[in-house]
Structure 1
């Protein structure tokens, strides 16, 4: 008799929250965990870059202005590093001028969100970006069958 195997549990996507504002970190961490993501936190730019290189999160919520190293500089460093350049990056910032947005996109951010923002809308944007990224990776590798759900996305 062959024992029945329990269905494999999907791995939660890792999301790094890189922000020096405690209230924003607490709020985002709660929301992301509630949605089933594995959440990492960095409180300054250098710690964020180290965490990205060490932990390989799928997505980073990156504050533009942090101590040690700006979010713009972190973003540029990530895009220049072949090991982590495919990481999705959402810049979070109070800097809402067109020149600031252009700088964020120019640094390699996939999205630019100005503070204050709706946490619910941001969570949906994160889910949408990760679903799109998962589909693109599956197409690139030819690994997902038609109608197959991504294995690393929370249900």
Structure 2
């Protein structure tokens, strides 16, 4: 529900605005009759849009209204028809309704303003006239971030051999050092994937084979890894979170899961960890396999 705060000391204007949006359940109208009431309301719950009379509480210049922009960029001014608004225009206020205005005008301006600045919960404006179709817009309220998950988890075991793929030709002679690199691991349909950035900006795209535990891994849920400074075999701590509960449901700790597949390509790492956690791991190339035994024929 989008909240609109009306700053006007006129009871008549309070009734007009409330009646204009009385049939729109997606809007909540709050009113303030003085700057003290306005400041109290703004401190409790910032609105998505402010409608303010330019002479609110005896004001004569735009300085107070400029402070409202610290709360929301959507500020609609109301003014008498004969008001000189040059100083408000110079201050950047370009949304003004002149009194008296029609309720349809107010509906349309409010709809336009609620849909500016990157819409993020759907907002619908009621039909201005009976029989006309309802206009739809995509205004959304920001969704608060989920709480951080607890850190106590029970480990499970997975065993897969580390089998790196061949390097691409442009990377054939590269010997990147991954000491102190960042490793981010995420669950995806079909398994977990991770990426790390070395000082040379070489990124290993890693797939972790967790087929034995696929039932406990939710597709598209987020996982992360923790700092590891262990030599090969590669080991990572992976947490898998339930997408609805944001709770960890499984953990594969050091030496209990190993990287099963890796390929190399240049590029930049993009961190997507929900809780902002970063993982550090030393990624050293695995030792070369021993040469096959020679067979001699007489």
Please give the TM-score of this superposition, normalised by the length of structure 2.
0.37
Retained in 1: the 8 A contact 2:115–2:138?
no
Higher strand proportion (structure 1 or 2): 2
Secondary structure at the aligned position of 1:34 is classed as coil
Rg larger in structure: 2
Q: Quote how far apart the aligned CAs of 1:47 are.
A: 2.4
List gaps (5 residues or longer) in structure 2: 121-136, 142-298
* Paired residue total: 124
Higher relative CO (CA 8 A, sep ≥ 6), structure 1 or 2? 1
**Equivalent in 111, 128, 134 of residue 95 of structure 2:** 111
Q: Quote how far apart the aligned CAs of 1:122 are.
A: 0.8
Retained in 1: the 8 A contact 2:119–2:139?
no
Structure 2 partner of 1:9 = none
Change (3 A) 1:94 1:109: same
Structure 1 partner of 2:253 = none
User: Which structure 2 residues correspond to residues 6-155 of structure 1 after superposition, within 5 A?
Assistant: 12-36=1-25, 37-67=27-57, 69=59, 72-79=62-69, 81=70, 84=71, 86-94=72-80, 96-97=82-83, 100-133=84-117, 136-138=118-120, 149-152=138-141
Q: Quote how far apart the aligned CAs of 1:131 are.
A: 1.4
Cα distance in 1 for residues equivalent to 2:37 and 2:101: 24
Retained in 2: the 8 A contact 1:105–1:111?
no
Please give the TM-score of this superposition, normalised by the length of structure 1.
0.67
Change (3 A) 1:66 1:150: closer
Secondary structure at the aligned position of 1:17 is classed as strand
List gaps (5 residues or longer) in structure 1: 1-11, 139-147
Secondary structure at the aligned position of 1:33 is classed as coil
